[in-house]
A and B are shown apart, each in its own frame.
Chain A
């Protein structure tokens, strides 16, 4: 079974600064996907960024980028130029690419990020 660990229950950052959220995972799979979802106070789950394990290049989406270290099973999220709207719970998630139609995600416990003005 896969496990996802987010070791930082809470973090805070000043507006316009950069923050990095940590995530580690445990799996015996070689091919898989990793995701970061955010959950703002509205409670909606929103996809932030995803990474395919077979790709060495780190994914980037505007101010959001990841540092994917496959050997270390680490998948951190960097948020640059933090904005007040980035305040949310951030979840790291894992999905094995085992084929078929099962795309079940395993989530970490989440990191509550607060962006301060």
Chain B
């Protein structure tokens, strides 16, 4: 157990629908990162939050949004789903600024999304 909790583990939905993926970071970690892993694109960085604020944005579609709440858990919202959104979505967390722990991302087990 990495300490990063993601729910749900598996999700099957239809095109056009909306889903929410949830992530609880390791205790004490302030940063949360979302990655998408698909067969053709590999691991793609989506977005990062640090202590509730957006810090970096990657290849995140406009149909996707995320936020980090005061208790530091994060949610990734995917709307108007398309077949191509089927992927494994990872959340990772890292420690507060400074210190060697800040350099390492710890990943959750992922949420597998299947869009039919």
| Interface residue ranges, A against B (CB under 8 Å) | 33, 35, 37, 42-47, 50, 52, 91, 95, 97, 100-110
The answer on a CB contact under 8 Å between A43 and B56 is no
The answer on a CB contact under 8 Å between A109 and B45 is no
Tell me how far the C-beta of A111 lies from the nearest C-beta in chain B, rounded to whole angstroms. 12
What residues on A are CB-neighbors of B31 within 8 Å?
101, 103
Which among A37, A44, A102, A110 is the interface contact of B56 at CB below 8 angstroms?
A102
Which among B2, B105, B109, B112 is the interface contact of A105 at CB below 8 angstroms?
B105
B interface SS class: strand
The answer on a CB contact under 8 Å between B90 and A45 is yes
What residues on B are CB-neighbors of A107 within 8 Å?
42-43
Tell me how far the C-beta of A98 lies from the nearest C-beta in chain B, rounded to whole angstroms. 11
Which among B51, B97, B106 is the interface contact of A100 at CB below 8 angstroms?
B97
The answer on a CB contact under 8 Å between B104 and A47 is yes
Q: Assuming A100-B97, A102-B48, A106-B45, is B109 touching A44 (CB within 8 A)?
A: yes
The answer on a CB contact under 8 Å between B109 and A43 is yes
The answer on a CB contact under 8 Å between A104 and B102 is no
Determine the distance from Cα of A107 to Cα of B43 in the docked complex, in whole angstroms. 6
Task: Please indicate which of the listed interface residues A105, A107, A108 has the most CB atoms of chain B within 10 Å of its own CB.
Answer: A105
Q: Assuming A102-B56, A107-B42, is B94 touching A43 (CB within 8 A)?
A: no
Determine the distance from Cα of A105 to Cα of B33 in the docked complex, in whole angstroms. 9
The answer on a CB contact under 8 Å between A43 and B58 is no
Determine the distance from Cα of A11 to Cα of B90 in the docked complex, in whole angstroms. 25
Determine the distance from Cα of A97 to Cα of B48 in the docked complex, in whole angstroms. 16
| 9-49 of chain B: CB within 8 A of chain A | 30-31, 33, 42-43, 45, 48
Name the residue on B nearest A42 (C-beta). B109
